[in-house]
Amino acid sequence: MAAAGVFGKLSVDDRREAARLEALEPLDLLDSPRDEGFERIVRLIKQVFAVDIGLVSLIDAHRQWYKACSGLAAGEVPREDTFCRYVVDSEQAMVVEDATRDPRFSDHPAVTGETHIRFYAGMPLKTKEGHVIGTVCAIDRKPRSFASEDRAVLQELAGVAMDRIELLQSAATDGLTEALTRRAFKQEADQLIALALRHQHHVSCIVLDVDHFKQVNDTYGHAVGDEVLKAVAATCKATLRAGDLFGRLGGEEFAILLPYVDRDGALAVAEKVRTAILSKEIGGDHGALRVTASLGVSALSLVGKDIETLLAQADAAMYHAKHNGRNRCVSWSSLQADSASSRRRVLKAGSIIFNDRRSTIDCTVQSLGADGAGLCVSNAMGIPPEFVLSIRSEGFETNCQIIAHDRQHLEVSFRPQ
């Protein structure tokens, strides 16, 4: 898909953005579980600076995603609507002492609306190579000054956040669910897949996502949400064999690797897991609570020879399960007649173009293959069933058709030009 020399045709800003996303992707932090280390940082920001809001965020191609936030209800916002995009673009710290007096922000909805932002101080999160992957911010609802000493303290806190990011690269177990972390799961899966290829035995992958989990958090609170995740994880582990791998990919998304199990066997396991989750009653002060899950299945094949491809294929199948009613299992092989091509997980900036090229929506390309892609958007509402996908860093543009979607994810197949 990538073409040699494409970067040479791009603007300086496009090349920098492509390199920034390439630096962010292997950290595997987007949509990752909450982490107490980052929660402490945002609490410190509020206490040290006596502000209303502390924030540690990561910024991909289309959104600012909050790794930790205290003082705001949202978990992410479109990149174009953020103050922090100026920090990413300039690669420098930014302080706005009174947003109503700054022409960039005086008409911003976060300033004029109920959020009532007045003060903003954002420090870039920089990798050792100098790529800005996110921000650490102190935000307040009243104007204020920010001395050079304050900047120095916020820069130190940004350094603490980067140290935490580096430390998480070596973590093997998720603290809440005791499942493998995403990175550890993929490392162990790669070893099992290499063994399967050497000895020519089956391996299958399942990705499952808890249905309507945001509604659980919004209705009962994050503490109950955590109990739900622990119960789902315990139910999965009790259903699986000792030699199966079980990992937590993101907030409410888990993955299973099944050695010596073919696609049909994996569908049977997925159905067993789905039924066990459905039957699990989660008790507590909130009363009895039940949840369901949507599951996608993929299997080792001529093209699916690595964990990234298997996860991308199982992801696509899982979103298809959600799109068609949730609480069900879907195999990747059933999605398309030409679904045999491989998928690789990526992190690239894309544009969804429609309405005779008069309308454009930014997206992040999360998986990519010869015949389709997985896209993430801020809101899928209003996107037509067919559109043009452009990936500038790949020198690539093609017609697409949506085969599955939820509120923020699109699975698309490519169509001939």
What are residue 111's phi and psi, to 5 degrees?
Answer: -90, -45
Domains (range + CATH), the chain:
34-168 (3.30.450.40), 182-334 (3.30.70.270), 343-415 (2.40.10.220)
Indicate whether 44 pLDDT > 70: yes
84/105 Cα distance (integer angstroms): 12
Is pLDDT of 244 > 90?
Answer: yes
- Residue 210: strand pairing partners: 293
For the chain, the straight-line distance linking the first and the last C-alpha, in angstroms and rounded, comes to: 15
pLDDT confidence band for 195 (50 / 70 / 90): very high
**Which residue from 227, 242, 217 is spatially nearest to 177, judged by alpha carbons?**
227
Report whether 250 contacts 32 (CB < 8 A). Answer: yes
pLDDT digits (tens, 9 = 90+) for 160-172: 999 999 999 888 9
| Segment 297-323, tens digit of pLDDT | 999 886 678 898 899 889 889 999 998
Closest residue by Cα to residue 329 from 294, 380, 303: 294
pLDDT band at 34 (very low <50, low <70, confident <90, very high): confident
Whether the per-residue pLDDT at 340 is higher than 60: the answer is no
Please give the Cα distance from 417 to 411 (Å, whole number).
19
In the block, which residue shows the tokens 């990234």?
Answer: 308
pLDDT, position 98: 98
Closest CA to 95 of 140, 60, 130: 140
Q: Angle 262-268-274 (CA atoms, 0-180°, nearest 5)?
A: 130
In whole angstroms, what is the distance from residue 92 CA to residue 105 CA? 18
Residue 339, pLDDT > 70, answer: no
CA pair distance 260, 21, nearest whole angstrom: 36
The reported pLDDT for the residue numbered 3 is 39
The answer to whether residue 4 scores a pLDDT higher than 90 is: no
% of the chain residues with pLDDT over 90: 76
Tokens 């040699």: give the residue: 4
Q: What is the pLDDT of residues 107-166, one digit of tens each?
A: 999 999 999 999 999 999 999 999 999 999 999 999 999 999 999 999 999 999 999 999
* Residues 183, 28: Cα–Cα separation, whole Å: 7
The residue with greater pLDDT, 25 or 417, is 25
